Amino acid sequence: MERDKTPRGYDPASVEARWQERWEADGLYRSEADPGRPKHYTLTMLPYPSGDLHIGHWYAIAPADARARFLRMRGYNVLFPMGFDAFGLPAENAAIKRNIHPKEWTWANIDRMRGQLRRMGTMIDWRREAVSCDPAYYRWTQWFFLQLFAGGLAYRKKAAVDWCPSCNTTLAREQVVGDDRVCERCDTPVIRKELSQWFFRTTRYAEELLDTSGIDWPERVRTLQSRWIGRSEGAQVVFHTEAGDPLEIFTTRPDTLWGVTFMVLAPEHPLVARLTTADRRAEVEAYVERSVRQTDIQREAADKEKTGVWTGGYAVNPVNGERVPVWIADYVLMSYGTGAIMAVPAHDSRDFAFARAFGIEVRPVICPEGETLPAGAEMTEALTADGVMVHSGPLTGTPADAAYEKVGAYLEANGFGERSVTFRLRDWLISRQRYWGAPIPIVFCPEHGAVAVPEDDLPVLLPDDVEWRPTGESPLKLHPSWRLTTCPTCGGPAERETDTMDTFMCSSWYHLRYLSPQYDQGPFDPSEYRAWMPVDTYTGGVEHATMHLIYTRFFHKACRDLGIVQGDEPMLQLRNQGIILGEDSEKMSKSRGNVVAPDALVDRYGTDTVRAYLLFFARWEQGGPWSSQGIEGTWRWLRRVWTLYMEPADTTGEATPDAVTKLRRKLHQTLRRVTADFESFQFNTTVAALMELMNEMVPARSQLEGTPVWAEAKDLYARMLAPIAPHLAEELWHALGHETSIHRQSWPTVDEEAAANEEITLVVQVNGKVRDRVTVPVGLGDDQLKEAALATEGARKFTEGMTIRKVVVVPGRLVSIVAG
């Protein structure tokens, strides 16, 4: 659509293309370490090369770029790199579906998206680009694996793991989402499989990961992480079966130990078989069989009726020597704690429901303050409130606040158990039965077991000639020759690990590869590390709170302990952008037909308008619905700016001292707002402030054009616009007669004197209602303000015939008169 008819009108297409070419040729955005300036590492979560840049990518990247540009103008040496998270399933699915090699598909997408990113006009330093499927990259992904392996942080074990039947691979616990436990990628319900898989010991860092005191991250993310890690304080207590086997449990309520009336094991618990008596065996085995076959969805439904079977066996409660029956039930999970619980139906609602369903005794041992102890048989629900311990042997009478300490000490003194902490966090399962990922650099030798591939032999290259049949086995396993190799230790015949690594492993360290993507002596050049790390500002979607953002923190801490990196945290400040919804306020999706295509917008309005609108239309951290009418307003604004600089003016007006003062005041007040708002990610009000200033400049032009204040205004306006609309600002800057790029200019300083108000509008309230306003000079004393307020017509009118009881003066703002 034709947008403009005047030949000199704002034509973003030509302006933007011209400057992008020039900046590229001048190397304007190359960032070099510079000890003379404070550094700032701005990072946005790297995109997956899915094919086309969508508006969500723009929303993540363009505002981050604007802020990076702002910081650069403020004197920071800013690093803003970009790359691609290029391993992963979609490439393989495309291969299966369309018979294109994943490598080809991925690299073609990268080329395409790189071009689209360049059109965005960012200050990305492309020499720092890193692509995770590049052997020069995954060589070091594998190297990191070996370091973790050598450090005892990577291990292989057989375990019941989550398997996505659609993706044909295992998943980490974090990648199974929602109340129906579906695959994070494809929404297919996962199933359980017993497999030998590689894990990273994230749990070793559980405690440290909970500490977020050193980082400026959103409360929301910190809460999500801490709930995910799930720290529980309690005690490990060792019961014994009648056969003498120790039966360890974890409880957060050691104060209820005397109320135990039964125990429950997870059906998969190793002691089940030994505990089961001959007459119960058939029933127990049937139950175990049934629960193993059930999906987790059925098993974990919270409102499900309690089911379970008595094993026929008993265990002895160490604190009172009582025999208690041992049951199995699927409400106890093998994967948490010890897979066994002591059941205290009187004080735990789940145990209560179970006890009532199977007629087991309920024995209260905690008496709430000021109440009488109910009879177990008459209770209708578990008593979970705090209270005093009763019927609890030597600890009877202990109040709630002292119970944890006293019971803990008692258990330890008698050798019954100890205070302990349990986490919900599990170790990170990183094996994937897929082709398009970094091969795990391990060789299995019949003689020496799992042997690390020597570092000199890295990378373990992914072979190109494979078949992508979704068999449930890694395609590498079916390769005729790739898996066959020799043992690095003994030289005998051996086989390669055929699983590849979770792509979250690749993205756990990409911020390090950006520092020196060509470096081949290590994953990164240490001097670059010293110059740039840690990341100062990290931006991305909140959906990674319990995945990538936990993994990368774990990874950094593990590498710190291995002596590879320094510092406790990789990213100091994190901010999350919101989500752009379709015009119908629904989530954008192809099936809804409400997808906004950034390429088409750029064709129509130019990059600068799209960037500015993304900053303007909503609070960035919140997001909101797209509006194709709304962007017109931003487009109009930039055209008005263009006109003000480029079109001749009617200069019939006369510059009055008043007009000069007024414009300078607005100019510097705007600068103050824009500076503060950029700093704090308030991009929408940044743009609003600039629009306001333009609204004042346009009518002032006929009076002030040609005066020094007008020159100052045009100079400052172009600079303030530069981070938002970099091409337009550059064009205006050169039109002002400058030769060097505006993006090499410094951010202006606020002239506080000019920004100061000379007079204020004093609000006069009577009994809480605004009754008048009066303009007074700044700096009057309270008494003078009071006098001025009382003298107003509004104040007189509304206090007539009344006594003035009180006058509250808020200097610079208002006077509140209380009368009656």
Measured from the CB of residue 489, what is the shortest distance to RNA in angstroms?
39
Identity of the residue, 117 or 176, whose beta carbon is nearer to RNA in the bound complex: 176
Measured from the CB of residue 426, what is the shortest distance to RNA in angstroms?
9
Residue linked to tokens 């900046």? 23
The token duo for 298 is: 């059925």
CA atoms within 13 A of residue 123's CA, in its CB half-sphere: 31
Binding mask 571-610 for RNA (x = CB under 7 A): ----------------------------------------
Measured from the CB of residue 51, what is the shortest distance to RNA in angstroms?
24
Nearest partner of 672 among 775, 593, 753, 741, judged by Cα = 753
Measured from the CB of residue 722, what is the shortest distance to RNA in angstroms?
19
Measured from the CB of residue 215, what is the shortest distance to RNA in angstroms?
18
The answer to the question of residue 295 lying near RNA (CB under 7 A) is no
How far is residue 533's CA from residue 524's CA, in Å, rounded to a whole number?
11
How far is residue 245's CA from residue 288's CA, in Å, rounded to a whole number?
21
Measured from the CB of residue 160, what is the shortest distance to RNA in angstroms?
13
The answer to the question of residue 300 lying near RNA (CB under 7 A) is yes
Identity of the residue, 406 or 426, whose beta carbon is nearer to RNA in the bound complex: 426
Residue linked to tokens 């405690």? 207
For 809, the 3-state DSSP assignment is: strand
How far is residue 730's CA from residue 718's CA, in Å, rounded to a whole number?
8
Q: Site residues for RNA, window 777-806 (CB under 7 A)?
A: 794, 797, 806
Binding mask 162-191 for RNA (x = CB under 7 A): ---------------xxx------------
* Binds RNA by CB under 7 A, chosen from 202, 317, 422, 431: 422
**For residues 167 and 188, is the Cβ–Cβ distance under 8 A?**
yes
Q: Site residues for RNA, window 535-574 (CB under 7 A)?
A: 546
Measured from the CB of residue 775, what is the shortest distance to RNA in angstroms?
10
How far is residue 714's CA from residue 644's CA, in Å, rounded to a whole number?
9
Judge if the upstream peptide bond of residue 534 is cis by omega within 30 degrees of 0. yes
* Binds RNA by CB under 7 A, chosen from 228, 444, 519, 645: 228
The answer to the question of residue 630 lying near RNA (CB under 7 A) is yes
Measured from the CB of residue 120, what is the shortest distance to RNA in angstroms?
21
The answer to the question of residue 323 lying near RNA (CB under 7 A) is no
Identity of the residue, 646 or 810, whose beta carbon is nearer to RNA in the bound complex: 810
Name the one range near RNA by CB under 7 A: 90-98, 370-378, 502-510, 767-775.
767-775
Name the one range near RNA by CB under 7 A: 331-339, 392-400, 413-421, 701-709.
331-339
Measured from the CB of residue 227, what is the shortest distance to RNA in angstroms?
6
DSSP string, 723-749: TTSHHHHHHHHHHTT--S-GGGSPPPP
Nearest partner of 623 among 632, 614, 631, judged by Cα = 614
Measured from the CB of residue 664, what is the shortest distance to RNA in angstroms?
19
Name the one range near RNA by CB under 7 A: 132-140, 434-442, 482-490, 686-694.
686-694
How far is residue 454's CA from residue 368's CA, in Å, rounded to a whole number?
63
Name the one range near RNA by CB under 7 A: 312-320, 435-443, 656-664, 684-692.
684-692
Size of the site for RNA (CB under 7 A): 89
The answer to the question of residue 30 lying near RNA (CB under 7 A) is no
Name the one range near RNA by CB under 7 A: 76-84, 516-524, 709-717, 761-769.
761-769
CA distances (Å), origin 295, targets 193, 298, 568, 713: 11, 6, 39, 67
What strands, in cross-sheet order, belong to the sheet with 804-810?
A: 769-777, 759-766, 814-819, 804-810
Judge if the upstream peptide bond of residue 459 is cis by omega within 30 degrees of 0. yes
Name the one range near RNA by CB under 7 A: 83-91, 198-206, 328-336, 533-541.
328-336
Biggest CA-to-CA distance, the chain: 108
**For residues 312 and 275, is the Cβ–Cβ distance under 8 A?**
yes
Nearest partner of 797 among 754, 766, 753, judged by Cα = 766
Identity of the residue, 33 or 807, whose beta carbon is nearer to RNA in the bound complex: 807
Identity of the residue, 376 or 488, whose beta carbon is nearer to RNA in the bound complex: 376
Binding mask 424-443 for RNA (x = CB under 7 A): x-------------------
The answer to the question of residue 56 lying near RNA (CB under 7 A) is no
* Binds RNA by CB under 7 A, chosen from 192, 204, 639, 734: 639
Measured from the CB of residue 806, what is the shortest distance to RNA in angstroms?
6
Measured from the CB of residue 772, what is the shortest distance to RNA in angstroms?
8
Length of the chain: 820
Measured from the CB of residue 622, what is the shortest distance to RNA in angstroms?
6
Measured from the CB of residue 616, what is the shortest distance to RNA in angstroms?
7
Identity of the residue, 445 or 615, whose beta carbon is nearer to RNA in the bound complex: 615
How far is residue 406's CA from residue 388's CA, in Å, rounded to a whole number?
13
The answer to the question of residue 752 lying near RNA (CB under 7 A) is no
Q: Site residues for RNA, window 376-415 (CB under 7 A)?
A: none
For 200, the 3-state DSSP assignment is: strand
- What DSSP designation does 428 have? E
The token duo for 126 is: 């492309």
Nearest partner of 69 among 574, 608, 498, judged by Cα = 608
How far is residue 82's CA from residue 45's CA, in Å, rounded to a whole number?
9
Measured from the CB of residue 652, what is the shortest distance to RNA in angstroms?
15
Q: How many CB atoms lie within 10 A of CB 664?
A: 19
Identity of the residue, 141 or 634, whose beta carbon is nearer to RNA in the bound complex: 634
The answer to the question of residue 756 lying near RNA (CB under 7 A) is no
The answer to the question of residue 203 lying near RNA (CB under 7 A) is no
Residue linked to tokens 């179970």? 354
* Binds RNA by CB under 7 A, chosen from 283, 561, 692, 705: 692
Measured from the CB of residue 340, what is the shortest distance to RNA in angstroms?
7
Q: Site residues for RNA, window 238-267 (CB under 7 A)?
A: 250-253, 266
Q: Computed over its alpha carbons, how large is the radius of gyration of the chain?
A: 34
The token duo for 680 is: 């704090």
Name the one range near RNA by CB under 7 A: 133-141, 467-475, 604-612, 615-623.
615-623
* Binds RNA by CB under 7 A, chosen from 155, 336, 358, 519: 336
Q: Site residues for RNA, window 338-377 (CB under 7 A)?
A: 338-339, 341-342, 348, 350, 353
Residue linked to tokens 């009617």? 650
The answer to the question of residue 230 lying near RNA (CB under 7 A) is yes
The answer to the question of residue 421 lying near RNA (CB under 7 A) is no
H or E stretch including 449? strand 449-452
CA atoms within 13 A of residue 440's CA, in its CB half-sphere: 31
Identity of the residue, 112 or 181, whose beta carbon is nearer to RNA in the bound complex: 181
Measured from the CB of residue 702, what is the shortest distance to RNA in angstroms?
11
Name the one range near RNA by CB under 7 A: 136-144, 329-337, 356-364, 651-659.
329-337
Provide the sign of the torsion angle of the four alpha carbons 147, 153, 157, 160, taken in this order: negative
Measured from the CB of residue 236, what is the shortest distance to RNA in angstroms?
10
Contacts of 492 (CB under 8 A, 6+ apart): 445, 446, 447, 486
How far is residue 686's CA from residue 343's CA, in Å, rounded to a whole number?
59
The answer to the question of residue 640 lying near RNA (CB under 7 A) is yes
**For residues 132 and 507, is the Cβ–Cβ distance under 8 A?**
yes
How far is residue 690's CA from residue 694's CA, in Å, rounded to a whole number?
6
